[in-house]
Amino acid sequence: MSDQILQAVEKHYMKDSLPQLCVGDTVDVHVRIVEGNKERVQVFGGVIIRLQGAGLTRSMTVRRIVADEGVERTFPLHSPKVAKIEVKRHGHTRRAKLYYLRQRLGKEQRLRDRRRGLAHLIEPGAEGQDQAAGQEAVASEPATSTAAAGS
């Protein structure tokens, strides 16, 4: 009961639309910065290495390299200071927290793109067609179709 009430309260303060974020995604975070009475937007781009919390307290930590130095910033997703989040790429990960990226240098830090499967090849149309396309894929390339089912 408590948690339901808490969720209802949080909902009132939460943002309506946030992009779906995953650990390993490369994102551009648009941050509102107030200097004196002027406000401007700064973009912080990097890889999400951690998603934490739930509801209103959900936050993400973004890591990027500035002048050969790793910089990490944690953003509460529902803060009004976070004006916009753009997802640029989906990285392939096998961990929930990517702390191991801190030990990596240069090109080692890159993440393989997440497999998109075959979903994007299927034309949006009748269901029958979709199924047929899926079956073809299974027949020809079983490995890829598993990825399609997962995505």
Partner 1 sequence: MVAAPGLGKRSWVLETVVMPAALLGRKIGMTRIFDASGKNLPVTVIQAGPCYVSQIKTAQADGYDAVQLAFEDVKPRNSTIPLIGHDAKAGLSPKWRRREIRVTPEEAGQIQLGQALTVEVFDGVKFVDVVGTSKGKGFAGVMKRWGFKGQPASHGCERKHRSPGTIASRATNRGFSGRPKRGMHMGGHMGDRRVTVRSLELVACDKDRNLILVKGAVPGAKQGLVMVRAAKRLYKRKAKLAKAS
Given the rule CB under 8 A, which residues bind partner 1? Answer: 1-3, 5-6, 8-10, 13, 32, 34, 55-57, 76, 78-81
- The residue among 10 and 28 lying less far from partner 1, judged by its C-beta, is 10
Q: How far is the CB of 136 from partner 1 (least distance, A)?
A: 50
**Calpha distance 49→63 (Å, rounded):** 7
- The residue among 15 and 89 lying less far from partner 1, judged by its C-beta, is 15
- The residue among 42 and 57 lying less far from partner 1, judged by its C-beta, is 57
- 64 and 129 in contact (C-beta within 8 Å)? no
- The residue among 2 and 103 lying less far from partner 1, judged by its C-beta, is 2
Strands 26-35 and 69-76: unpaired
Strand ranges in 3-97 using DSSP code E only, listed in sequence order: 26-35, 38-52, 59-66, 69-76, 82-89
Q: How far is the CB of 141 from partner 1 (least distance, A)?
A: 47
Q: How far is the CB of 114 from partner 1 (least distance, A)?
A: 31
User: Could you give the residue ranges of the DSSP H alpha helices within 14-141?
Assistant: 127-140
